[in-house]
Amino acid sequence: MTPKVDLAAIEQVFARLPQHYPGPGGVAGVMVDGRIVARAAWGYADLDSRDPMTAETRLPICSISKQFTCAAMLAACPDLSVLEPGIRAALPNFTGELPGVLDLCHNQSGLRDYWALTVLHGGKAEGAFLRDDAARIMAPMRSGHFAPGTRYSYCNVNYRLLSDLIEEATGIPLDQLYRRHIFDPAGMKTATLTADTRRPEDGVTGYEGNDASGYFPALNGITWTGDAGISASLDDMLAYEGWIDTTRADADSLYRRIAAPQTFRDGTPAEYGFGLRHSTIAGLAVTSHGGALRGFRCHRMNSRDARLSVVVMFNHHGDAHGAALRLMRAGLGETEPTATQIADDWAGQWIGAETGLFTRIEPTRQGATLHFGTGSEGLRAEGATLVSTLARITRDGDALVMQRPQENLTERLLPVTAEPFADPAPLAGCYTSDELGGAEMRIEARDGAGYVWFRGALGEGRVELMRPAAPDLWLIVTRRSMDAPAPGDWTLQLHRDATGAVSGATLGCWLARGIRYDKQP
């Protein structure tokens, strides 16, 4: 029996979207039982020209493209083994166990994300990134930050590599494969591959900023394909959701195939596979994915059992995921979790024993905030445990144990003593990384503060700020990069020789961990 969807609750949330998620413009749609029950566009596609946002305006769907890449691969390459040799060709310097095709599809490859690595290769946020630049970043890779199949880590390079493998194996450009296997069958009449983000479709402009700072056009220079790149209108995306609903009972349909639950190699269920995230809302299975480019945010969700689909797209940095989740919860009758007060003694900072990432917990009026991955996570108390949508944290003496089921990771967090001031002078100098093909990190001590910049395959980047976190532990803050969102805080752990002098460092963020640098004389 199909669960009943609360249409009145959806309508109430839907009507408030423009005010709850303010910005230049947006579109949203909801489909129930194969028919559109809500469809709206508001605001402007471009503030200067005053062109209105419409349901026909094509917007970048960004990382939602990943599921299309995986579906096109399954349709065009029945024997995935033909793609395997291309992985070695793309990673000629890799010394560890190579990931397989399915490791790439499920974000279990262990490869470091190449958009994070653009920072370390000297890429500037608005700089050009051409198709050949991807190979220049992939080729020097010598290792991953975990063994293939053992963990989950979001990694755009997985799908960029997949797109190259698919085109080489079939001899057909990816945009034609999308059209043949998905766009045309689904009735996505205007969807297209817009690999060059400098030239968005229909003159749409994406905006950075917010109500407090104002909105200004976002400048992008990325050329991407496979990991992102599709542009589609709201009507295109609703046609896609309708196609999913029409084929929901066909076990051989492309969406049913990419929506099949996956596991890690140890048999543990995985919450991500074939470019789709798996979750549960109101006890029902939901498949979803979001997308982000500077100036754009989007999200889609589908509950096959409830026959409910939600699509939200903004040309600004509004919380598209939050909007889609609110609509889905309203339709399925699930209330939002209640924030709970968290004791101040949870506040502190730690270092991850496996990931080497700096972690901190900050109590707030609504609970607490966990800083670990690319962004902050809201925490609430459940007895003696702190819980976010991604983590469960318990005490173990002075240490903490953080379980992250989606990542198949149980991380022991070791306490570190805060160090509000440290002299950056001993760090100053040039460091090089074999992992990055000799790319350089230069640290400068200037007027009592620490600064760093990177040089590599993409040139020389702009100066980033450093701040001390604990003894021999510094944070490098990256708030803007080629991709969006930016990597966030990088953890820099110093290494010292027998004399106590700084000899090197390990640098990492959630997207790209454990990168060794050696200090040059």
> Residue 484: pLDDT band by 50, 70, 90 thresholds?
confident
Q: Are strands 392-396 and 385-387 parallel, antiparallel or unpaired?
A: antiparallel
d(CA 249, CA 256): 8
DSSP state of 129: B
**Stretch 449-478: mean pLDDT, rounded?**
95
Q: Which two tokens stand for residue 474?
A: 């510094």
What type of residue sits at position 120? Answer: L
Assigned fold of 7-64+173-332? Beta-lactamase (3.40.710)
Pick the CATH number of 344-412 from 2.40.128.50, 1.10.260.40, 1.10.10.970, 2.70.98.90: 2.40.128.50
CATH, domain range 425-519: 2.40.128.50
Span 71-109, pLDDT tens digits: 999 999 999 999 999 999 999 999 989 999 999 999 999
Active site residues: 63, 66
- At residue 290, does pLDDT exceed 90? yes
Handedness of CA 123, 128, 129, 130 (dihedral sign): negative
Is residue 454 packed enough to be buried (19+ CB in 10 Å), middle (13-18) or exposed (0-12)? buried
pTM, entire model: 0.96
- At residue 245, does pLDDT exceed 80? yes
The three state secondary structure string of 353-371 is CCCCCEEEEEEECCEEEEE
Cβ pair 282, 333 in contact under 8 A:
yes
Q: What is the mean pLDDT of the chain?
A: 95
Give the H/E segment covering residue 163: helix 157-170
> Residue 343: pLDDT band by 50, 70, 90 thresholds?
confident
- At residue 480, does pLDDT exceed 90? no
d(CA 59, CA 62): 9
- How is the chain split into domains, by residue range? 7-64+173-332, 344-412, 425-519
Fold agreement (7-64+173-332, 344-412): no
User: Strand, helix or coil at 120?
Assistant: helix
DSSP state of 155: -
**Stretch 146-159: mean pLDDT, rounded?**
97
- At residue 181, does pLDDT exceed 80? yes
> Residue 410: pLDDT band by 50, 70, 90 thresholds?
very high
What's the Cα-to-Cα distance from 51 to each of 48, 129, 230, 357, rounded to whole Å? 8, 29, 22, 45
Cβ pair 301, 324 in contact under 8 A:
yes
For tokens 């709970």, name the residue: 340
Strand partners, 232: 59
Assign 3-state DSSP to the chain and report helix, strand, coil percentages, each to 5.
25, 35, 40
Ramachandran angles phi, psi of 161, nearest 5°: -65, -40
